[in-house]
Amino acid sequence: MQITYVHQHEFPLLGEVHSSILKSLMYFDLFRYPLTLPEIIRFASIPIHHLHIAEDALQQLEDNLMVYRFGEFWSLNSDYGNIERRQKGNRSAMKIWDKAIMRSKFIQRFPFVRSVNISGSLSKNYFDAEADFDFFIITQPNRLWLCRMLLTIYKKFFLLNSRKYFCINYFIDTESLEIPDKNIFTAIEIVTLKNMSGENLYNNFMQSNNWVKQYFPNYLPEKQMLPQKEKENVIKHHSEKLLQNKIGDRLDTVCYKITLYFWKRKFKNMTAIEFENNLRSRKHVSKHHPQGFQFKVLEGYKNRIHTFEQQHNVTLYNG
């Protein structure tokens, strides 16, 4: 295994490939989710052009008791329970997928929805009792908040506010496709999105967020299993036509102001920075992550790296 001794490091420095592989495993270890070899390469932070390079590095890490192999899976943890947990979650995701397609088609029928995408655990082919259907929705400009309000009203009154299969927590519009939060958490959420409708717009979104290549240079878009395209919804068409005017503009602004007012009251203990990061609310974006999950994960990832380095007396390459 490639180890370099550098005087300014407290511990010997691992090489780029080994460090990148370990960091991929560490991130997903936060979710107790072992990875396969193709997944490790996909989420590696440096280019890996040949399979054997990753295979050799993993074998060396295993020989040094830094990683563990269970069939096709690699893990930082010797607990086989994590393998069983992943396999069970993968099976559950397959079973629930038809329901996710139905929900996606339903959301697409709402006025001003232009693209529906699945994020969160289901986008990573995992689902369990604690998981939700997380939707990332792209709307027509200047109708985002009206669209969001209509979907929220449906959820509150027809689904009794249940978010299990209808978690609508991130909206952007077609003129604001670039995501400003450029970090490993956001990059993984973007590259694992499952596009359910609006394929051309999804492709534009991915192009607008090409910065993810800085985090995952080996990433290639998956072939999307799009649901069969439906005929144009007559109700949606006429609803939009009625509101493509100043009345629609005003309604969107009213929905924006009402939502922002209630969020500021409900989350009044948040600092301005916390509110901006977790509940970003502008005319072109609505982000509703009040638990600050992104930042908990980023902090956990940082701590996981530090713990590993202390445990194995090494320093991971951070070039």
281 in the same domain as 242: yes
Residue 13 within any structural domain of the chain = yes
Q: Report pLDDT digits (tens) over 256-270.
A: 999 999 999 999 999
180 in the same domain as 135: yes
116 in the same domain as 241: yes
Answer yes or no: are the C-beta atoms of 137 and 117 closer than 8 Å. yes
In this predicted structure, what is the pLDDT of residue 43? 98
In this predicted structure, what is the pLDDT of residue 1? 58
pTM given for the model? 0.92
27 in the same domain as 96: no
| CATH code of the domain covering residue 301 | 1.10.10.10
101 in the same domain as 208: yes
74 in the same domain as 142: no
301 in the same domain as 284: no
CB within 8 Å of 52: residues ≥ 6 apart: none
| Angle at alpha carbon of residue 232, lines to 227 and 237, rounded to 5° | 135
In this predicted structure, what is the pLDDT of residue 140? 98
In this predicted structure, what is the pLDDT of residue 11? 64
Distance, CA of 158 to CA of 179 (rounded, Å): 31
40 in the same domain as 7: yes
163 in the same domain as 244: yes
Amino acid at 59: Q
Q: What is the mean pLDDT of each run of 10 residues along the chain (319 residues)?
A: 48 89 98 98 96 96 96 96 98 96 95 96 95 96 98 88 82 98 98 95 97 96 67 89 97 98 95 94 96 95 97 89
In this predicted structure, what is the pLDDT of residue 226? 63
Which residue range(s) make up the domain with 56? 3-79+297-312
φ/ψ (deg, to 5) at 102: -60, -45
If 0-12 CB within 10 Å is exposed, 13-18 middle and 19+ buried, where does residue 154 land?
Answer: middle
In this predicted structure, what is the pLDDT of residue 5? 42
Q: With b meaning 16 or more CB within 10 Å and e meaning fewer, what string describes 268-287?
A: eebeeeebebbbbbeebebb
- Number of domains making up the chain: 2
Q: Report pLDDT digits (tens) over 174-221.
A: 999 999 999 999 999 999 999 999 999 999 999 999 999 999 999 987
